[in-house]
Amino acid sequence: MGCGSSNNSTVSRDQVTRIQEKSGGQISEKEIVQWHKIWKKITPNGKMTESQFAHFIVDNKIGTGKEIDARNMFKMMDKDKNGVMEFDEFVLILVLPKSAEEISTEQFATLCMTIYDENGDGFIEKAELLKFALAKAKAEGRTSQEHRDRVSDIVNKLVAYIDVNADGQISKEELMKAIDKDPSLKKVL
């Protein structure tokens, strides 16, 4: 995954900066250093597999505490599909705010771009958003064709609402304007 983590015992200045940028400034340097200490204890080689991540989530009852949710979270963050999580992604996925209302529109939009923009082109495409929404529905046990159709319909409407220039992709600016217009989008996304 992503940017990589050194096997040093301390977190680098570059990592701190990168994580803070990706989180929209939501994560403090102190939190990053604390998470790095935990990271080094559970991943001496500096990389975590999907199975290790799922066990960590279940054992520590993080989020739903369910293995399927942990595996879906892992897959969502494994943008380069190499099957390992590195420190940056670990921190981002675990420290994302518990409540979207706690952060500014810009911070929320930055987090959405980090999560949904799989190909890293700076835009959220309908296919990227749909993939995540379908994975979430599957994790919640909503796997019937009717559920998949409903999720697809919701994603289509959501993209049509946010993508004001109708170019088939959502920019950070479009997302911020849509959230300012309708703050309830933070609950949907």
pLDDT for 86-116, tens place per residue? 888 888 777 765 556 667 888 788 878 877 8
Confidence bin at 172 (pLDDT 50/70/90): very high
Q: At what angle do helices 105-116 and 126-139 cross, to 10 degrees?
A: 80
| pLDDT score, position 70 | 82
11 Cβ contact list (under 8 Å, min separation 6): 32, 33, 36, 87
pLDDT in the model for residue 126: 93
Query: Considering the chain, what is the average pLDDT of its residues?
Result: 83
Q: Does position 8 have pLDDT exceeding 50, yes or no?
A: no
6 pLDDT higher than 50: no
Q: How far apart are CA 98 and CA 96, in angstroms?
A: 6
User: DSSP string of 29-58?
Assistant: HHHHHHHHHHHHHH-TTS-EEHHHHHHHHH
Closest of 48, 87, 45, 98 to residue 70, by C-alpha: 48
User: In this structure, how many other beta carbons lie within 10 angstroms of the beta carbon of residue 79?
Assistant: 16
Question: Tokens 């599909």 belong to which residue?
Answer: 81
